[in-house]
């Protein structure tokens, strides 16, 4: 074992880590935006409204992320319509394909977390809103969504960490994220153990930062609860 290669290539690994962080941050934010309407539609009692979100969530949670990335990156190019459309400059780029695949994937998981949180709010609060005479939109905006945000945090933190780990798959479509960078360095230095372990260490460090941030936000968001902690049903 020769860990001097790690020292030598550490700046390159950090470059890769920065790409990983970007991928995760962008797809998590976009994913949350996509997830919200899906979660709301999924809660509906009407089969015509909840049918699509149900299938969407089932597909993205039931198939490997790797398949989803390949479907977006390689699959889309099978159709001439796509290749001639205005979308092609985006779908040609591995970076944006990864963002699209990650966003779709994480939005399915996030939608389930949101749904769990909204449904975990006691029925009495919904009734109270109705009694006060709020419209459905007001009830969601003033009570249910802010409440759900607090409940969602622990599970959502987990989902971001899962996304961070999933982002390693970006390396399979030539993106130089942390894993991709590690593989390129190894192709040159033939020191898989040292470099992969260093990359693993960086992933661990990023996860710890995410956990620490979420602890702070959770404390702030749920400060009115005192020391009581809430458990969210763990969905996948």
Partner 1 sequence: MIDLHGFGDQLLQGALITVELAMASLGVGLVLGLLGAAAKLSSIAPLRWLATIYTTIVRGIPELLTVLIIYFGATIVLMAIASQFGYDDYIEVGPFTAGVTALGLTFGAYATEVFRGALQSIPKGQHEAATALGMGAFRKFQRIILPQVWRVALPGLGNLFLVLLKDTALVSIVGLDDIMRKANIAVSSTKQPFLFYATAAIMYLLLTIISMVVVTWLEKRASRGMRRG
Binds partner 1 by CB under 8 A, chosen from 21, 49, 71, 120: 71
User: Among residues 207 and 221, whose Cβ is nearest to partner 1?
Assistant: 207
174 is a contact residue toward partner 1 (CB under 8 A)? no
Helix (H) or strand (E) holding 154: helix 145-166
CB 221 within 8 A of CB 153: yes
Residues between 131 and 170 that touch partner 1 (CB under 8 A): 161, 164-169
Specify the DSSP element, H or E, that contains 126: helix 123-132
Q: Is 85 in the site for partner 1 (CB under 8 A)?
A: no
Sign of CA dihedral 92, 93, 94, 100: negative
The binding track of 99-138 with respect to partner 1, each residue x by CB under 8 A or -, is ----------------------------------------
DSSP state of 141: I
Considering the complex, what minimum distance in angstroms separates the CB of residue 201 from partner 1? 9
* Distance, CA of 215 to CA of 199 (rounded, Å): 25
Nearest to 205 by CA among 3, 11, 14: 14
Q: Which residues bind partner 1 (CB under 8 A)?
A: 58-59, 62-68, 70-71, 74-79, 161, 164-169, 171-172, 179, 182-183, 186, 192-193, 196-197, 199-200, 203-204, 207-208, 234, 236
């Amino acid at each position: 074992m020769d860990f001097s290669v790690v020292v030598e290539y550490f700046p390159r690994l950090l470059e890769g880590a920065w790409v990983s962080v970007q991928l995760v941050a962008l797809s998590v934010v976009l994913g949350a935006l996509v997830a919200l309407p899906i979660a709301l539609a999924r809660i509906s009692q009407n089969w015509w409204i909840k049918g699509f979100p149900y299938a969407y969530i089932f597909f993205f949670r039931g198939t490997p992320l790797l398949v989803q990335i390949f479907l977006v990156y390689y699959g889309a190019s099978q159709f001439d319509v796509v290749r001639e459309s205005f979308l092609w400059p985006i779908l040609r780029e591995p970076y944006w394909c990864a963002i699209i695949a990650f966003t779709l994937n994480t939005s399915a998981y996030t939608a389930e977390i949101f749904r769990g949180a909204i449904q975990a709010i006691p029925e009495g609060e919904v009734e109270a809103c109705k009694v006060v005479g709020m419209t459905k939109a007001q009830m969601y905006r003033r009570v249910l969504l802010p409440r759900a945000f607090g409940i969602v945090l622990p599970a959502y933190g987990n989902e971001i960490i899962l996304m961070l780990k999933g982002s390693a798959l970006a390396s399979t479509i030539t993106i130089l994220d942390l894993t991709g960078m590690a593989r390129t360095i190894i192709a040159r230095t033939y020191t898989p153990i040292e470099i992969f372990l260093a990359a693993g260490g960086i992933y661990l460090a990023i996860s710890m930062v995410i956990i620490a941030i979420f602890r702070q936000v959770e404390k702030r968001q749920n400060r009115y609860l005192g020391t009581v902690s809430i458990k969210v049903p763990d969905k996948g």
